[in-house]
Amino acid sequence: MGEWTIGVIGGSGLYAIDALEDAERRTIDGPFGEPSDVLLCGRIGSVRFVFLPRHGPGHRLPPGAVNARANIDALKRAGCTDVLAISSVGSLREELEPGRFVVVDQFIDHTVARPSSFFGPGLVAHVSMAEPVCPRLSAFAADAAAAAGAPTTKGGTYLAMEGPHFSTRAESALYRQWGCDVIGMTAMPEAKLAREAELPYALVGMVTDYDCWRSDAPPVEVADVIARLGANASVARRLIEKLARLLPPERTASPLDTVLDFALITDPAHRDPALVATLDAVAGRVLR
């Protein structure tokens, strides 16, 4: 039993949480470079939150330049127990209209150019991603989204594309054939890294537009996305406030808190000391 500390990674349009009490900014130095921004730490009621805008102040970072390893490492160092990602997404389904919030439960990783693991030569680990999100946090997030007034869908598959370009019509049609429901550019490798850092992770996708699979409609443009961002972000801020009031007073342990117990494969005698040292926050629990 312990205190909740929710790391909130804000996507396009969500650059602050106004409701934080006793808010203070905290700079985190870690071995993976600079996170997207300084962390904004505070409370809503009894729940501690640590907020990080994924694209940095002023949305200066394109998807491929987001240092997901530094972001997750910083949230871990800040004492986060769980991570809630709130991301703008495109819709691949007619019934997932702009303004709807989709609580994702599966991913297809179609990114190609991003460091996707904290581990590597000298310290090998294989975490399970069969169920890539935390069911407990996802359920609370879905209830909070509904309480905030968002039309909410529980469950959906997120296609993570490299970007920064939007899809071709052929790609969009293919992703629908694959069974994907929403599309975005940032959830991978973020979700994988959160799992390696033993941080239960949930993602709420805020639908801004339909992807370009609708042949009778014009393709998505940035202006369409921006037009929807403000309304979505306002609801997302209410979602966070509702979440603070829905969480139980005490956080019970999650099986995801200890996934590295079953993931490390490199014999201790053959581990690279330099790599071990960089993982003092991410994997220090099992490497000490």
Neighbours of 255 (CB within 10 A): 10
Burial of 216 (0-12, 13-18, 19+ CB in 10 A): exposed
User: Catalytic amino acids?
Assistant: 209, 211
DSSP of the chain: -B--EEEEEE-TT----TT-EEEEEE----TT---SS-EEEEEETTEEEEEEETTTTTT---GGG--HHHHHHHHHHTT-SEEEEEEEEEESSTTS-TT-EEEE-EEEEE--SS---S-BTTB-B----SS-S-HHHHHHHHHHHHHTT--EEE--EEEEE--SSPPPHHHHHHHHHTT--EEESSHHHHHHHHHHTT--EEEEEEEEEE-TT-TTSPPP-HHHHHHHHHHHHHHHHHHHHHHHHHS-SSBPP-GGGGGGGGTB-S-GGG--HHHHHHTTTTSHHHH-
Length of the chain: 288
Q: Can you tell me the distance from the alpha carbon of 196 to that of 132, in angstroms, rounded to the nearest whole number?
A: 11
